Amino acid sequence: MQYGSVCSGIEAATVAWHSLGWVPSFFSEIEKFPREVLAHHYPDVPIHGDFTTIEANQYGSIDLLVGGTPCQSFSIAGLRKGLDDDRGNLSLEFIKLAQRERPRWLVWENVPGVLSSNGGKDFGSFLGALGEIGYGFAYRVLDAQYFGVAQRRRRVFVVGYLGDWRRAAAVLFERESLRGNPAPSREKGEKPDPTVTSGPPFSRTGNDRVECDAYIPEIAGSLDTQCGGGKLTHQSANNGHLVLEREITGTLTARMFNSLGARDIEEGAIHPMAFDAYNQEETKQVSKTIASRNDQDTASCIAFQSNAMAVRRLTPTECERLQGFPDGYTNIKDKCPDGPRYKALGNSMAVPVMKWIGERIQMVEQLTHERMSA
């Protein structure tokens, strides 16, 4: 399959679709650093600038057009001018390019704020324009955390197919998710499933035990909060067993050399940190990742800077992993600055999500070919 990519960034689509055997006909990007990344990895692919100037078949016919037009005008963090913003209006320019190129497939991505921009009218205008030029479409919010990367990244994806909405819907929606079958209910007299921590006959806090008023094994207790001391409270929703709890729970424990608990933090022995820190020796400039354990060697996202501890920022390599890119993908030259790498990765689509969409499109293409051959 031949495809064209606009607002290409550092090309999550091409990284995702390379294994499918799909070939890019052109990229379109105006930012300097992403263009350098594209030229480094794909020297044989033409890199256009402003995609609104691409003429019909300028780079040959394509089967698919993909792009994530700028999201700033739709984001809830911005001014939300929507289509009145030149950047927001590029979503309609994407449709104009689709009308000139006439690919079978379209894939468009943006932030969830596009759904509510201008009371939903902006997104309605986009979808209405798609329909006017002959595309059936489906849209869905997909979250990258469910596709194998360690970040919550929700994005709206619109898939269009020339003349048929059903094929677009078959890409974004699995049959199982459309059945609407509720989970089976329990039969009368069945025991309920336990909660996350099923209440035992007693609650343990350190070396102390607080006996239950009554213990009913058929009913699980609610979550227990445990501290070294404090007032007694009825923490269980069902059987009323007693648990020790402070009026105010402590922050996450920060440990250094000796074990220090919530009371130590409250009394100012150390400052609470964003992550649990248990370091036996200085980690110098860059600390290990969260909960990295090897026998007694434990480190976390805490780094030493000028004899003081601070929560370190993610490295560019970690950001590449969060988006599903190979390590070093944006490290294209000696002493490559981190700033442009962070920006390019932050503006990119998540590779695993794009791969899933590509695989679903390929599946529909294969099924269509088989039916036509039968």
State the catalytic residues.
71
Q: State the Cα torsion 5-11-14-16 to the nearest 10°.
A: -130
Residue 174: CB atoms within 10 A of its CB come to 10
Closest to 224 (Cα-Cα) out of 236, 213, 211: 236
Q: How far is CA 212 from CA 88, 196, 233, 242, 347, in A?
A: 61, 19, 12, 6, 54
Q: Are strands 23-28 and 2-6 parallel, antiparallel or unpaired?
A: parallel
β-strand partners of 319:
none
Q: What is the sign, positive or negative, of the torsion defined by CA atoms of 335, 338, 343, 347?
A: positive
d(CA 212, CA 60): 76
| H or E element, residue 342 | helix 338-346
Q: Which residues contact 93 (CB under 8 A, 6 or more apart)?
A: 51, 52, 69
The b/e string for 116-130 (b: 16+ C-beta within 10 A; e otherwise) is ebbeeebbebbbebb
Tokens of 266: 């409250």
- Three-state SS at 157: strand
Query: Which tokens go with 343?
Result: 């920006």
Q: Check if the beta carbon of residue 82 is closer than 8 Å to that of residue 118.
A: yes
